Amino acid sequence: MESQLGMIEQSFNLRYSGWVREALNELSDNFTITDPSISGHPIVFASNGFFKTVGYTEDEVIGRNGRMFQGPETDRRSVMKIREAIREERAIQISLLNYKKDGTPFWILFNMCPVFNKEDGRVIHFVGVQVPISRRPRRSGCTVVRDAVNSSENGALFCQGMFRCCRRELCSDTVMELGRASALNSVSIPDDEVEMNVPCEASELEKRKANVAVSNVLSVLTHYSELTGKLVCGKRSCLAGMGLLGSSLNIPLGSIKQSFVLSDPHLPDMPIVYASDSFVELTGYARHEALGRNCRFLSGKDTDPATQFQIKECIQTEQPCTVRILNYRKDKTPFWNLLHISPARNALGKVAYFVGVQIDSCKIQEEHRLRSQRRQLSVVGAIKVAVRSLSMGASTS
Q: Do residues 23 and 45 make contact, with C-beta atoms less than 8 angstroms apart?
A: no
What pLDDT, on the 0 to 100 scale, is given for residue 149?
Answer: 39
List Cα–Cα distances, 28 to 24, 69, 112, in angstroms: 9, 20, 17
Characterise 258 by phi-psi region: left (phi > 0), alpha (psi -120 to 50), beta (else).
beta
Number of domains in the chain: 3
Please state, in angstroms and rounded to a whole number, the distance separating the CA atoms of residues 283 and 270. 19
Whether residues 188 and 203 fall in one domain: no
Whether residues 85 and 118 fall in one domain: yes
Whether residues 202 and 189 fall in one domain: no
Q: Do residues 205 and 104 make contact, with C-beta atoms less than 8 angstroms apart?
A: no
Give the count of beta carbons closer than 10 Å to the beta carbon of residue 171: 17
Comparison of pLDDT for 39 and 105, the residue scoring more: 105
| Domain assignment present for 188 | yes
Whether residues 225 and 102 fall in one domain: yes
Q: What is the mean pLDDT of the chain?
A: 79
List Cα–Cα distances, 222 to 121, 211, 218, 226, in angstroms: 14, 16, 6, 6
C-alpha gyration radius of the chain: 28
* pLDDT greater than 60 at residue 181: no
- Residue 30 is classified by DSSP as -
Domain of residue 152: give its range.
146-193
Task: Report the SS3 class of residue 375.
Answer: helix
What pLDDT, on the 0 to 100 scale, is given for residue 346?
Answer: 83
Q: How confident is the model at residue 95 (pLDDT cuts 50, 70, 90)?
A: very high
| Domain assignment present for 140 | no
| Domain assignment present for 141 | no
Whether residues 215 and 259 fall in one domain: no
- Residue 166 is classified by DSSP as S
Whether residues 17 and 166 fall in one domain: no
Whether residues 173 and 319 fall in one domain: no
Q: How confident is the model at residue 313 (pLDDT cuts 50, 70, 90)?
A: very high
Comparison of pLDDT for 375 and 208, the residue scoring more: 208
Task: Write out the E strands in 3-101.
Answer: 31-34, 43-46, 92-99
Task: Write out the E strands in the chain.
Answer: 31-34, 43-46, 92-99, 105-117, 123-132, 232-233, 260-263, 272-275, 321-328, 334-345, 351-360
pLDDT in tens, 341-353: 999 988 788 898 9
The model's pTM: 0.53
| Domain assignment present for 290 | yes
Q: Do residues 176 and 163 make contact, with C-beta atoms less than 8 angstroms apart?
A: no
Whether residues 189 and 271 fall in one domain: no
Question: What's 304's domain CATH number?
Answer: 3.30.450.20
| Domain assignment present for 46 | yes
Whether residues 89 and 51 fall in one domain: yes
Domain final residue, candidates 233, 260, 292: 233
Whether residues 129 and 227 fall in one domain: yes
pLDDT in tens, 234-290: 876 543 334 456 556 777 787 788 899 999 888 778 889 888 889 999 999 988 788
| Domain assignment present for 39 | yes
What pLDDT, on the 0 to 100 scale, is given for residue 245?
Answer: 60
What pLDDT, on the 0 to 100 scale, is given for residue 151?
Answer: 42
What does the pLDDT average to over 88-94? Answer: 88
Q: What is the share, in percent, of the chain residues with pLDDT greater than 70?
A: 74
Whether residues 17 and 124 fall in one domain: yes
Please state, in angstroms and rounded to a whole number, the distance separating the CA atoms of residues 261 and 291. 9
The set of residues, in sequence order, having a beta carbon less than 8 Å from that of 287 and lying 6+ positions away, is 275, 280
Whether residues 109 and 170 fall in one domain: no
Q: How confident is the model at residue 339 (pLDDT cuts 50, 70, 90)?
A: very high
